[in-house]
Amino acid sequence: MIVRNLTKSYQEDMILNQVSFQASPGEFIAIIGSSGSGKTTLLRCLTLQEKWDRGEYVVDGNDIMAGNFLARRKVRRNWAFLEENAALHTNKTAMQNVLEARWRHMSLWRKVTRRSSMDEHVHSLEFLEKVGLLDKGKEKVEKLSGGEKQRVALARALIQEAKMIAADDPVRGLDPNSVNGVMENFRNVAKRENVLLVITIQQLDLAERYATRIIGLSKGKIALDISARKLTHREKELIL
């Protein structure tokens, strides 16, 4: 994925100002910055939920913004966006939630009859196992913790064969144990499944500890782009 000079404004306010960077499968990128820096807008532009004013967006050698509707539709199908509050069916089990995300890969007959095979049930359990929730497969989502719900949402994205997974502050409001579990799981999944995982996050220490790369925004511009590590005082001043 290559982004060149992404620019986005609302009325007279410049939200993103010539943002440029490249990202590869297997990376776990944390986008950080103060409130109003453009973090969420950047994430929504990358997942094609919002339009930008100008710039290039190259995926698999094709400029998506210059392409046609079918090219953009293909990107949307290959990439997943995890909302802060995971969009799950709370009255269904974790396995059922993951299995439903698999429908578009099933045959037309199965889609019409809404029937799935035993192999597909096992397949959904395998993806729950990837996120450490095999033992929660038969529990209803309403009984799961916030961190467990985020991991179910991650399993849904993986079973859809997403090439990129984006999440807007996925650990906000979670208890400390759940926060660490989700972040560690994200890092492991990015590496093991070779997917590009991009999140926005408020807690700088979590980005330093778990991400493989940190992109810092300030006033809509990239002020920092480094391999993840503990930031210096000067680096923190650039973005916070």
Q: Is the pLDDT of residue 196 over 70?
A: yes
109/65: higher pLDDT = 65
pLDDT of residue 226: 97
Angle at 34 between CA 31 and CA 37, to 5 degrees: 70
* In the chain, where the domains are located: 2-239
Average pLDDT over residues 26-37: 96
235/160: higher pLDDT = 235
6-20, 26-40, 57-71: range with lowest mean pLDDT: 57-71
- Give the three-class secondary structure for 220: coil
21/65: higher pLDDT = 21
pLDDT of residue 113: 46
pLDDT of residue 109: 44
What is the CB neighbour count within 10 angstroms for residue 222?
A: 22
- Spatial distance between the Cα atoms of 170 and 85, rounded to a whole number of angstroms: 8
Angle at 134 between CA 129 and CA 138, to 5 degrees: 140
What pLDDT, in 10s, does the model give residues 138-172?
A: 999 999 999 999 999 999 999 988 999 999 999 99
Share of the chain above pLDDT 90, in %: 68
Tell me the helices (H) and strands (E) count for the chain, helix number first.
Answer: 9, 10
CATH topology of domain 2-239: Rossmann fold (3.40.50)
